[in-house]
């Protein structure tokens, strides 16, 4: 049995409150996923005195520096069960959405051998907040949460869908209902193009089963940001907000990517704006779960559009953002593993977060050609961490014959801290000058619009 760890918590600043002594065993953790988000989560958890051992499946070349990588996919539940037993795991933290939508929580909760394992991540119903646009839009409508006006249509309703476009001015926003690897949203300027896309989605099998139902939305013009909570379904902790940069090209031009960089904090998300977000969106969302009888546990990522200073929900995700996590985690001073454990056991009540007020800026180095065809297996040099203020979070790397090589489109996120956004960015770009692999590309204008 592992050694006992005693944490002393002062229950509150009221002197009448007795000192509460909590005995906690050190925690053995399995983190599912293998991108930059997971490296940032693993890096942060590895600093916790509460950690006994951290495993990551499948992990990457960066997570292997702070944890033990396990060689199975994040959605291989049978392999996961084996690992949970073999490595005596107490807590499973789920990084990406796929295992959540596939039902990882139910798999663990329903297995008699895994009754002791706690999970951070929603169940199958909660994961529908991300897994189905129709589900999340209806949720927002039911609970009065501000979002774009919308209609939803199935294949049999193609003509109604086309006619519905009439209600909006271009551009037209069409969303495949289900998960479509981040590609299921089309924003089209032309009415006939939008009608053609509706035909392709609803009757032509574009996006497969994800596109069998389509949500048509009003286009919201504004500036986007990402807000996150960690919640046990009743209580929640508001995490630092961030802004990500999705387009491949400078000035937000060109194809969408998984994310080319992120900034936290977001200067326009001041106290007044964030209070609106909490009052109009976060609180009604948490209350909405209660009213609907839904147990939600884990991270919730709220993608927002600020329209003339008013927040509207663009989407919910049932996980942290990537690359937002790479700028959010370095700003959290509190013990993230303690928060995750409390989330897993449903005890987040009264938990406060200590946040570094400085800026964190993340710039992603990607493979040449990404997000279209690109080559992998390029040797990476200059990837050692050079200063306390700069961290490298690996997204698509692996160790091969003792060498670090690229293994994905997004390769390494370089995050730096600074008093001002420009200081932090200068440090990130200085580190990127030292980093090298054949074909490496990164955007030089992260934060340009702030």
Binding site for ligand AMP (CB under 6 A): 148, 173, 175, 185, 217, 219-220, 224, 303, 314-315
Of the candidate residues 321, 408, 409, 447, the single one contacting ligand GLY (CB under 6 A): 321
CB of 320 to ligand GLY, least distance (A): 7
Q: What's the full length of the chain, in residues? A: 450
Of 67 and 129, the one with the shorter C-beta distance to ligand AMP is 129
User: What Å distances lie between residue 8 and 11, 12, 47, CA to CA?
Assistant: 9, 12, 18
447 contributes a contact to ligand GLY by CB under 6 A? no
We find the least distance from the C-beta atom of residue 281 to ligand AMP, in angstroms, to be 15
Asked if residue 177 binds ligand GLY (CB under 6 A), the reply is no
Q: Which does 321 bind (CB under 5 to 8 A by kind): ligand GLY, ligand AMP, none?
A: ligand GLY
The interface region with ligand GLY, picked from 135-143, 320-328, 389-397, 398-406 by CB under 6 A, is: 320-328
User: Site for ligand GLY (CB under 6 A): which residue of 90, 177, 322, 389?
Assistant: 322
Query: Which residues neighbour 401 within 8 Å (Cβ) at sequence distance 6 or greater?
Result: none
Q: Where are the alpha helices (DSSP H) in 66-190?
A: 77-86, 98-101, 104-109, 124-131, 133-142, 158-164
Hunting for tokens 């209660």 — which residue is that?
Answer: 290
Binding to ligand GLY by CB under 6 A, coded x per residue (else -) over 50-79, reads ------------------------------
Query: Helices in 365-438 by DSSP H: which ranges?
Result: 421-434
* Partner touching 322 among ligand AMP, ligand GLY, none, CB below 5 to 8 Å by kind: ligand GLY
| Nearest in space to 266 (alpha carbons), one of 213, 297, 302, 294 | 302
Chain centroid to CA 266: how far?
16
| Residue among 263 and 314 whose Cβ is closer to ligand AMP | 314
The span from the CA of 176 to the CA of 184, in Å, is 5
Please tell me whether residue 410 adopts helix, strand or coil conformation: strand
| Sign of the dihedral defined by the CA atoms of residues 199, 204, 206, 209, in that order | positive
Measured CA to CA, the distance from residue 397 to residue 413 in angstroms comes to 11
Closest distance to ligand GLY from the beta carbon of 384 (Å):
27
Residue 321 or 396 with smaller CB distance to ligand GLY: 321
Please state, in angstroms and rounded to a whole number, the distance separating the CA atoms of residues 398 and 418: 29
Phi-psi region of 447 (alpha: psi -120 to 50; beta: other; left: phi over 0): left
State the minimum distance, in angstroms, from the CB of residue 303 to ligand GLY: 7
Smaller CB separation from ligand AMP, 171 or 346 = 171
Structure token digits, residue 360: 């964190």
Which residue is closest to ligand AMP by CB? 315
| Least distance to ligand AMP, CB of residue 185, Å | 4
Minimum Å gap between C-beta 319 and ligand GLY is 8
User: Minimum distance between the CB of residue 333 and ligand AMP, rounded to whole angstroms?
Assistant: 29
Going by DSSP bridges, is the β-strand pair 403-406/247-249 parallel, antiparallel, or unpaired? unpaired
Q: Is 416 in the site for ligand GLY (CB under 6 A)?
A: no
Kindly report the backbone phi and psi dihedral angles of residue 405, in degrees, each rounded to the nearest multiple of 5, phi listed first. -130, 160
Binding mask 228-257 for ligand GLY (x = CB under 6 A): ----------------x-------------
Phi/psi class of residue 34: alpha, beta or left (left: φ > 0; alpha: ψ in -120 to 50)? alpha
Task: Report the residue from 128, 132, 285, 317 that binds ligand GLY according to the rule CB under 6 A.
Answer: 317
Task: Tell me the backbone φ, ψ of residue 286, rounded to 5 degrees.
Answer: -65, -40
- The span of 168-176, 317-325, 390-398, 433-441 binding ligand GLY (CB under 6 A) equals 317-325
Q: Which residue is nearest to ligand GLY (CB)?
A: 321
Q: 380 and 397 in contact (C-beta within 8 Å)?
A: yes
- Number of residues engaging ligand GLY in binding (CB under 6 A): 6
Minimum distance, C-beta of residue 239 to ligand AMP, in the bound complex (Å): 18
First to last CA, the chain: 51
- What whole-number distance in Å separates Cα of residue 297 and Cα of residue 106? 12
Q: Rank residues 77 and 172 by Cβ distance to ligand AMP and give the closer one.
A: 172
Beta strand extents in 50-105 (DSSP E only): 51-58, 68-69, 91-94
In the complex, the smallest distance separating the C-beta of residue 273 from ligand GLY, rounded to whole angstroms, is: 20
Q: Is 324 in the site for ligand GLY (CB under 6 A)?
A: yes
Query: Which residues here bind ligand GLY, judged by CB under 6 A?
Result: 244, 259, 317, 321-322, 324
């Amino acid at each position: 049995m592992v050694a006992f760890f005693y944490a002393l918590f002062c229950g509150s600043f009221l002197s009448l409150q007795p000192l509460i002594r909590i005995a906690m065993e050190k925690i053995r953790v399995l983190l599912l996923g293998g991108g930059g988000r997971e490296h940032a989560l693993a890096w942060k958890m590895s600093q916790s005195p509460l950690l006994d051992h951290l495993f990551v499946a499948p992990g990457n070349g960066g997570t292997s520096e702070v944890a033990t990588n396990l060689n199975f996919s994040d959605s291989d539940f049978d392999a996961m069960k084996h690992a949970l037993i073999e490595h005596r795991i107490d807590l499973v933290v789920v990084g990406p959405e796929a295992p959540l939508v596939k039902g990882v929580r139910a798999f663990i909760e329903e297995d008699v051998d895994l009754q002791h394992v706690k999970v951070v991540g929603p169940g199958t119903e909660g994961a529908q907040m991300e897994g189905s646009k129709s589900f999340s839009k209806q949720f927002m409508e039911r609970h009065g949460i501000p979002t774009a006006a919308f209609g939803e249509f199935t294949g049999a309703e193609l003509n109604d869908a086309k006619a519905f476009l009439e209600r909006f001015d271009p551009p037209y926003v069409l969303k495949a209902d289900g998960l479509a690897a981040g590609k299921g949203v089309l924003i089209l300027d032309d009415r006939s193009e939008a009608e053609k896309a509706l035909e392709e989605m609803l009757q032509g099998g574009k996006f497969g089963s994800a596109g069998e139902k389509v949500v048509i939305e009003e286009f919201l013009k504004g500036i986007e940001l990402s807000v996150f909570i960690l919640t046990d379904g009743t209580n929640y902790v508001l995490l630092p907000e961030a802004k990500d940069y999705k387009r491949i090209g400078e000035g937000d031009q060109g194809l969408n990517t998984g994310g080319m960089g992120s900034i936290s904090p977001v200067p326009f998300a001041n106290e007044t704006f964030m209070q609106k977000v909490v009052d109009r969106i976060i609180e009604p969302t948490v209350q909405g779960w209660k009213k609907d009888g839904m147990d939600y546990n884990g991270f919730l990522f709220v993608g927002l559009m600020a329209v003339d200073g008013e927040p509207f929900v663009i989407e919910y995700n049932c996980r942290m953002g990537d690359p937002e996590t790479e700028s959010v985690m370095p700003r959290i001073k509190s013990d993230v593993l303690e928060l995750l454990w409390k989330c897993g056991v449903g005890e987040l009540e009264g938990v406060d977060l200590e946040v570094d007020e400085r800026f964190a800026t993340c710039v992603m180095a990607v493979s040449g050609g990404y997000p279209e065809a690109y080559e992998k297996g390029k040797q990476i040099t200059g990837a050692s961490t050079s200063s306390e203020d700069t961290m490298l979070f690996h997204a698509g790397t692996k160790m091969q014959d003792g060498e670090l090589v690229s293994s994905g489109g997004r390769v390494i996120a370089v995050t730096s801290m600074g008093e001002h956004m420009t200081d932090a960015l200068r440090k990130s770009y200085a580190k990127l000058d030292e980093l090298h692999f054949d074909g490496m590309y990164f955007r030089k204008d992260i934060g340009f619009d702030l």
